[in-house]
Amino acid sequence: MKGNAKDRLLRAAAELLDAAPGEPVSTRAVCERAGVAAPTLYHHFGSKQGLLDAVVEFGLGQYAAQGDADDDPVSDLRRGWDQHVQYGLDHPAFYVLLYGGIAPGRPCKVTAVAQVQLTRLLERAERRGLLRVPVDEAAEQIVAANVGVTLQLIAEPAGAADLGLSVALRENVLAGLLVTSAPERGPVSEVAQAAAALADALAGPGGGGPSLSDGERVLLGEWLSRLSRT
């Protein structure tokens, strides 16, 4: 196995988890596969749990990087849902570590990247007048349903997962959150177009720059959302 010791340990743990989903993975097996001694694992990750956390973050990074954005936020929501489910089915051990080991009052920091992506998608839908409910409420409903159906499908016997269940639930959830079509509006003003474009830019990577605080970004985003609907 090529790469530095830390990368080899990550890949070894990931491969062992994928090879035996639901089964415990020992630090000894990880070290043997990576070709390192146990002290090297503890040097880089501190503990077995530290290694597993790093592996999960690595796996989520692969999931979060999937797919290209579409101009249609509703299509992106559907594609994001389907990718989420497929990732769970393709990598059940990673997925269960991500979403199955929760604790009361301790939201998973590792999944924050995916949560941000979903929020941005919903903000795009809101700016187009497509949301029935506030963005935060829509995000909570989508995550709850998407994670729940994925865990349900993972628990099915091998080869028995019915993706039709996921599609049906997806459409029921979106039907409750989205209007069937954007409300009728007159010609969009130049101010509204500029506000929508700036809001999209601020929502992108690095948007807003270092000159804006988090509070200022939220306030500016609210103003731009209102202006984009004028």
27, 133: one domain: no
pTM, rounded to two decimals: 0.63
19, 92: one domain: no
Task: Give the span between the Cα atoms of 43 and 54, in whole angstroms.
Answer: 13
Q: Note down the domain range covering 189.
A: 185-230
Give the position of tokens 């200022």: 216
179, 196: one domain: no
Task: Give the span between the Cα atoms of 101 and 98, in whole angstroms.
Answer: 7
Task: Give the span between the Cα atoms of 150 and 95, in whole angstroms.
Answer: 9
96, 80: one domain: yes
Task: Give the span between the Cα atoms of 172 and 91, in whole angstroms.
Answer: 26
87, 145: one domain: yes
Return per-residue pLDDT of the chain as tens, 230 residues. 567 888 889 888 888 887 776 677 889 999 999 999 999 999 999 988 888 878 777 766 655 555 555 678 999 999 989 988 998 898 887 788 777 666 677 666 656 667 888 898 999 999 989 999 999 999 999 999 999 999 999 999 888 889 999 999 999 999 999 987 444 444 557 777 777 777 777 766 555 555 667 667 667 777 777 676 66
Check: CB of residue 23 under 8 Å from CB of residue 5: no
Where does a domain end: 167, 183, 199? Answer: 183
Q: Both tokens of residue 217?
A: 């970004």
Where does a domain end: 36, 55, 74? Answer: 55
Q: What is the tally of structural domains in the chain?
A: 3
36, 130: one domain: no
Tell whether 159 is covered by a domain. yes
